[in-house]
Chains A and B, each alone.
Chain A
């Protein structure tokens, strides 16, 4: 059974810092890995999707990497801003009929002005 773990569970940084969020998964047989952002009481917004054959994806100040063989992904946020404060979720899609996502517990990020 796939297990996804995110470290750290919470992170507080001053504005402007670069930071790295970590995600690990136990079963490397995945189709892809997605990073989501969740604001309090809100839905999930997809940030980046990395296919299993890819090593990284970039969008603006965000860069996500994937090392499928070691079961790890990182989300790098450059020059953090207070508006980046949210919970960041990592999810892997298994190669099963239902294409379900297995989520990590998230990293709660606070960027202080």
Chain B
């Protein structure tokens, strides 16, 4: 069964440091997403990415956040200067297609990267 792979599984960092979370989506998928879940809270949408550009982003995804697909396999989330409130589990997800056909395509999530900001 194809899967979405995320690294690292857990990262501890000091406030103000830059963090890069990495994801390898399923190989024939074209739509990529980042979500996050603060401990005890709902899973929240951060950003969607298609055709090498951001499709949509939430209010959470401010100037401190960026995403990149540097090659044909990786999809990264960078937090430029981490804050305490960035501590959360970050989930990467991918799907084969989107738009009006998305109803037929299940979103596949990775196991998550837990970020702890001290």
Q: Which residues of A contact B (CB under 8 A)?
A: 31-32, 34, 36, 41-46, 49, 51-53, 89, 91, 93, 96-106
Residues of B within 8 A of A (CB): 31, 33, 35, 41-45, 47-48, 55-58, 91, 98-100, 102-104, 106-112, 114
Query: How far is it, in angstroms, between the C-alpha of A103 and the C-alpha of B37 when the chains are bound?
Result: 10
With contacts defined as CB atoms under 8 Å apart, how many contacts are there between chain A and chain B in the complex?
67
Could you pull out 16 A-B pairs where Cβ atoms are within 8 angstroms?
A: A31-B102, A31-B103, A34-B106, A34-B107, A43-B111, A46-B108, A51-B103, A52-B103, A89-B43, A98-B48, A99-B56, A100-B48, A100-B56, A100-B58, A101-B107, A105-B41
| Nearest CB in chain A: distance from B87 CB, A | 14
- Contact partner, B103, options A44, A49, A102, A103, Cβ 8 Å: A49
Please give, as numbers and ranges, the residues of chain B lying within 8 Å of A97 by CB-CB distance.
55-56
The 6 closest A-B CB pairs, nearest first, are A98-B56, A98-B48, A51-B103, A43-B111, A100-B45, A103-B43
Q: Which of A42, A100, A101 contacts B112 (CB 8 A)?
A: A42
A100, B47: Cα distance in complex, Å: 8
In the complex, are the beta carbons of A99 and B102 less than 8 A apart?
Answer: yes
Given known pairs A42-B112, A98-B56, A100-B48, the reply for A105 and B91 (CB within 8 Å) is: no
A91 to B44, CA, bound (A): 10
Neighbouring B residues of A41 by C-beta, 8 Å: 114
